[in-house]
Amino acid sequence: MTSPLPRSPSAMSSLKILLAEDHPVNQKVALLLLKKCGYQADVAANGYAVLEAMAQTPYQVVLMDVQMPEMDGIQATQEIYQQYAPDQRPYIIALTASVTQGDREECLAAGMQAFLTKPIDEASLRVALTTAEAHLNQLASPTPTLPTTALPNDEKLLEPQVLAGLRQLAGEAAPTVLAELLEDFLADTLSNIASIHTAIAERDAAALHQLGHRLRSSSANLGAVALSQLGQQLEDQGKAGTYPDAAQVETQMQRTYTDTETALRAWVQSL
Convert the pLDDT of each residue in 39-87 to its tens digit. 999 999 999 999 999 999 999 999 999 999 999 999 999 999 889 988 8
In this prediction, residue 220 carries a pLDDT of 87
β-bridge partners, 43: 19
pTM (predicted TM-score): 0.53
Does residue 106 surpass a pLDDT of 90? no
In this prediction, residue 251 carries a pLDDT of 77
In this prediction, residue 238 carries a pLDDT of 86
Long-range contacts of 239-247, Cβ-Cβ distance < 8 Å, separation of 24 or more: 239/98, 239/100, 239/205, 239/209, 240/205, 241/205, 243/200, 243/203, 243/205, 243/208, 244/200, 246/197, 246/200, 246/201
Q: Is the peptide bond before 152 cis (omega within 30 degrees of 0)?
A: no
Bigger pLDDT: 4 or 165?
A: 165
pLDDT above 90 as % of the chain:
24
The predicted model gives 30-45 an average pLDDT of 93
The predicted model gives 16-22 an average pLDDT of 95
Contacts of 232 (CB under 8 A, 6+ apart): 101, 104, 212, 216
Sheet with 61-65, strands from edge to edge, namely: 41-44, 17-20, 61-65, 91-96, 114-117
The predicted model gives 99-118 an average pLDDT of 76
Find which of 33-42, 169-178, 262-271 is predicted with most confidence, using mean pLDDT. Answer: 33-42
Does residue 8 surpass a pLDDT of 50? no
User: Which domains are delineated in the chain?
Assistant: 17-139 (3.40.50.2300), 148-269 (1.20.120.160)
Mean pLDDT of the chain: 82
Ranking 28-37, 97-106, 114-123 by mean pLDDT, the lowest is 97-106
Does residue 112 surpass a pLDDT of 50? yes
> Residue 144: pLDDT band by 50, 70, 90 thresholds?
very low
State pLDDT tens for residues 220-244: 888 898 898 888 888 888 888 887 7
Ranking 112-116, 134-138, 149-153 by mean pLDDT, the lowest is 149-153
In this prediction, residue 123 carries a pLDDT of 81
Bigger pLDDT: 102 or 151?
A: 102
> Residue 155: pLDDT band by 50, 70, 90 thresholds?
very low
In this prediction, residue 100 carries a pLDDT of 67
In this prediction, residue 153 carries a pLDDT of 42
